[in-house]
Amino acid sequence: MTECLFCKIINKDISSSIVFEDDDVLAINDINPQAPVHILLMPKRHLTNLEDVEESDLNLLGYIQFRAREIARQVGLDGHYRVMTNCGEKAGQRVFHLHYHLMGGKEMD
Ligand code: 5GP
Ligand code: ZN
């Protein structure tokens, strides 16, 4: 069994508040939101972070950004939002399954 928290969420071994799901991507509400909208988008396939990404994953990365934009529109962020990923512990990564934070709904500094 996987030890990865987000793999467990993807497998539904741990419950989460799902915003969007398809064969490749899961988007969930962050458990500890730092903004009125704080959604995590992750590939269903386990990749540790951007360091794991290969050229064959470029469509997937582009798709995640596109999906972030679509979700931002759906939740009414009206063209103002942040999409970011932390790569590595020193950059603030705490969960080592690639994910993108979609944040908005307040003035971001
Ligand atoms: P990181 O620091 O790795 O970029 O971001 C990890 C994010 O995952 C944090 O914003 C944290 O609040 C969120 N998180 C950690 N555990 C859980 C969980 O069990 N469920 C959900 N929905 N989010 C989580
Ligand atoms: Zn994982």
pLDDT tens column, 28-86 = 999 999 999 999 999 999 999 999 999 999 999 999 999 999 999 999 999 999 999 99
**Which ranges of the chain does DSSP label H, i.e. alpha helix?**
5-10, 58-74
Q: Which residues are catalytic?
A: 99
Cβ(86) – ligand 1 distance below 6 Å: yes
Q: What domain range includes position 69?
A: 5-104
The set of residues, in sequence order, having a beta carbon less than 8 Å from that of 6 and lying 6+ positions away, is 42, 46, 95, 97, 99
What tokens were used for 42?
A: 């992750």
Q: Domains in the chain: how many in total? A: 1
Residue 70: give its domain's CATH number. 3.30.428.10
Q: Choose the residue to mutate in 31, 51, 99 for probing ligand 1, maximizing ligand atoms within 8 Å of C-beta.
A: 31
In angstroms, how far is the first alpha carbon of the chain from the final one? 40
Model pLDDT, residue 1: 65
What tokens were used for 84?
A: 């970011």
16 is a domain residue:
yes
Closest ligand to 38 CA?
Answer: 1
Q: Which pTM value belongs to this model?
A: 0.98
